[in-house]
Amino acid sequence: MTHITRISAIVLTKNEEEGLAATLRQLTCFEDLIVVDSNSDDETVSIAQSHGARVVNFTWDGQYPKKKQWSLENAGAKNKWVLLLDADEYPSSQLLAELGQLDETIEDNQNGAYDIHLSYRFAGKLLKHGHVVTKRSLLRADRAWFPEVDDLDAPGIREVEGHYQPESSAAIGHLKSRLVHDDRDPVSSWFARHNRYSDWEAHLRMNKKLREDIAAKRTWKGRVFEKVPFKPLAFFVYSYFVRRGFLDGRAGFDYSFALTAYYWQIGVKFRELARS
C-alpha cells in the first residue's frame, strides 16, 4: 500500500458530513492529513477526527488571505508540499501511486506546483469524456501562493478564492493521473453553486482590469476561452462534440448543457448589471 510521508493533504470543509467520510477513506495513506473547517454546525468535525485527521478551524475575517492561502500558511502542515483538496475530491488509485513515487524524491524537487486533471462525477456518473477541469492542487507552500485580487466586494464567492490558479515562483509540473471530483450531491446543489459563481463572474466583467487580471491567472485553456465569442455555443460544441462528451451518454449531454447554461447565465447577469 502507498504510504506518503513528505506530502501533506489538506481538505477544505464546511458542513460536509454527507460525503466527507468517503473522501477521507481515500486519504489514509497520507501520514499528515488535515481538515480545515469553517465553523461547521453538522458532524463534519467529528467525522474528520474519527478518520484520523487533525482539524483546524478557519473563520474568515472578510479580508485576504482567503481560505486556501490561509490553509497553506496556518494549517500547520508538517511538509512543504501540500495536496490541497475540496471535500469532494480525492486522488484516483493511479494518482496515489504517482504521488507515492513522487514522494520519494520530492524534497529535491525544483518545481513550485503541479497541475492535475479532474475526473468529474455529474448526475451520478463519473464522466470519461467532455470538458476536463485542470487544478493546480499540489503546491509547495514556500513557492506557490494564491494571489490577492480585488474581488472582496464581489457577490457569489466569499471566503474561498475564486476560479483562478495559484501562482508559482518556480516551474509548474503536470501529473499524468487524475483527481476524482466525486460530487454526489443532488444536481440542484450544483445549480445553486453555479448560480452563485455566475454572480461573481458577472461582477468581474464589469471591471475590465480585474477581469483581465483574473483571466491571466487561469489555465491556458481558461485564458483562451476568455477571448472566445459566443461562449455558450462555443463551449457546448467544444465539450459535447470536440471532446466527445456524447460518449458519456445522457450524463455527458447534461453536463455539457449545464455548463453551457452557466456561461449563458453569466452573460445575462452581466448585461443586466451593465444596464443598471
pLDDT at 157: 87
Residue 184 pLDDT > 80: yes
User: Which residues make Cβ contacts (< 8 Å) with residue 36, sequence separation at least 6?
Assistant: 10, 11, 12, 13, 55, 56, 57, 58, 67, 70, 71, 75
pLDDT at 227: 80
pLDDT at 231: 92
CB contact burial 176-211 (16+ within 10 A = b; e otherwise): ebbbbbbbeeeeeebeeebeebbbbbbbbbeeeebe
User: Which residues make Cβ contacts (< 8 Å) with residue 250, sequence separation at least 6?
Assistant: 123
Q: Which residue has the cell 502507498?
A: 2
Residues 73-89 have a mean pLDDT of 98
- Mean pLDDT (the chain) is 94
Residues 168-173 have a mean pLDDT of 97
The residue with greater pLDDT, 50 or 211, is 50
Domains of the chain: 7-275 (3.90.550)
Q: pLDDT band at 212, cuts 50/70/90?
A: confident
User: Which residues make Cβ contacts (< 8 Å) with residue 202, sequence separation at least 6?
Assistant: 266, 269, 270, 272, 273
Residue 73 pLDDT > 70: yes
Question: pLDDT tens-digit profile of 124-134?
Answer: 999 999 999 99
Residues 210-221 have a mean pLDDT of 77
Question: pLDDT tens-digit profile of 221-275?
Answer: 777 777 888 999 999 999 999 999 999 999 999 999 999 999 999 999 999 999 9
Question: pLDDT tens-digit profile of 43-61?
Answer: 999 999 999 999 999 999 9
Residues 20-34 have a mean pLDDT of 97
pLDDT at 1: 67
Residue 115 pLDDT > 90: yes
Residue 216 pLDDT > 80: no
